[in-house]
Amino acid sequence: MEVLADFISPLVQLVEILSYVVQTLKDWEKLADDAVSFGYHYEAEAFLRMVLEERTRVQGAEHPRTVDAKQMLAHVLGLRGKYGETEALLRSVVEVEVKVCGPESPGALIMTGRLAVTLRDQQRYQEAEDLLRPVIKVMRRVYGPETLLTLDTMNELASTLGAHGKHEEAEALFRSVLESSQWDGHSTILDTKKGLATLLRDQQKYQEAEDLLQSVLESQQELLVTAPRGTEHVFLLQCSRTWKEIATVLGMQQKYLGMEAWLQWAASVQTAVLGTEHPERLDTAKWHAVALGIQGYHQGAETSLRTVLWSQMRVLGTEHPQTLDTKKKLDFVLAMENRAKALWTEY
């Protein structure tokens, strides 16, 4: 018995150590998730790199939790505009999913779809399209043509086609998703309406785009009214995103006063829910400043854009796409301001 006890005791200690390590990794993942929620992507990346390194060392590269850590890190890197590293991580995830679970498993198909979206974010539209088409074909055959998994991926393909300039095919695909009446009011169908609205907006079909977005907003407001206590902020945030898209449609019609109002409401909600330095709120504030600048409020627009730019440089980094876009918007407003000053000097 003493020999057996001597043998078991180290094993018990090892199990306790491993349990502590695993719990610590879960805590780090929770911290990373919280950091993402508040827009602290730099901190989230740091936590997730530690998690991935430790999970790979302790549990192995193909363990499900290691693969999950790769997915989480890829998501955060995508938010930070590090698309090359995001792509590499997602390719490795797809490889493991195919090897362990098979090429037609939900994990393999979903991760291939996410890889395609990353390629689209890099404007590699044909590559993204070539990945999504066979995925949808498999999903329709294996899981059915009207499952949410299939419809979500059809939305991604339609968005990719639209970005690639293939408007007719994109519109037909969006409308085919909308015909799935069994999911009417579901977030997937609301995303379809918003995607179709964006497509129509880009084709200058403004009224139809605005009508679709108003329909989405009505559904979101109904969900907000019936939301369980304590979850209202989630649905209010969804409404704010639709307000922002309505503002964009109005802006493209040069209805800048309406654009400004919708953006101001969106920014107010996002400030209350997400905080002043969350990337999403900063992007909304940027467009609100642009609306002010176009209406001739150059000084206010400049001040707002400089504030947004300073926060983005600190939160997202100087080379993040959103930061670079704000720099362009600031240059645009400054140019308008200089032209206005020149006109005043002439007269």
140 half-sphere exposure, CB direction, 13 A CA radius: 10
pLDDT of residue 6: 53
pLDDT of residue 41: 80
Cβ-proximal residues to 25 (8 Å cutoff; 6+ apart), any chain? 51, 54, 55, 58, 65
d(CA 112, CA 96): 12
Quote the DSSP letter at residue 182. G
d(CA 264, CA 246): 12
d(CA 88, CA 94): 10
The type of residue at 82 is K
- Cα of first residue to Cα of last residue in the chain, in angstroms, is 103
d(CA 328, CA 324): 6
d(CA 185, CA 178): 10
Helix (H) or strand (E) run with residue 86 in it: helix 83-101
pLDDT of residue 23: 60
Cβ-proximal residues to 200 (8 Å cutoff; 6+ apart), any chain? 171, 206, 208, 209, 212
d(CA 268, CA 151): 33
The type of residue at 321 is P
Quote the DSSP letter at residue 255. -
pLDDT of residue 344: 55
Other beta carbons less than 10 A from residue 122's beta carbon: 13
d(CA 138, CA 150): 9
Per-residue model confidence as pLDDT tens for the chain (347 residues):
554 445 455 544 544 544 545 567 777 777 777 767 677 788 888 888 998 898 889 888 889 899 999 999 999 999 888 999 999 999 999 999 999 999 999 999 999 999 999 999 999 999 999 999 999 999 999 999 989 999 999 999 999 999 999 999 999 999 999 987 678 888 999 999 999 999 999 999 999 999 999 999 999 999 999 988 888 888 999 999 999 999 999 999 999 999 999 999 999 999 999 999 999 999 999 999 999 999 999 999 999 999 999 999 998 889 999 999 999 999 999 998 787 666 555 54
Residue 9 backbone phi and psi in degrees, to 5: -55, -50
Nearest-5° angle of CA 61, CA 66, CA 70?
A: 100
Angular region, 286: left φ>0, alpha ψ -120 to 50, beta rest: alpha
Position of tokens 């309505």?
246
Q: Strand, coil or helix: what is 120?
A: helix
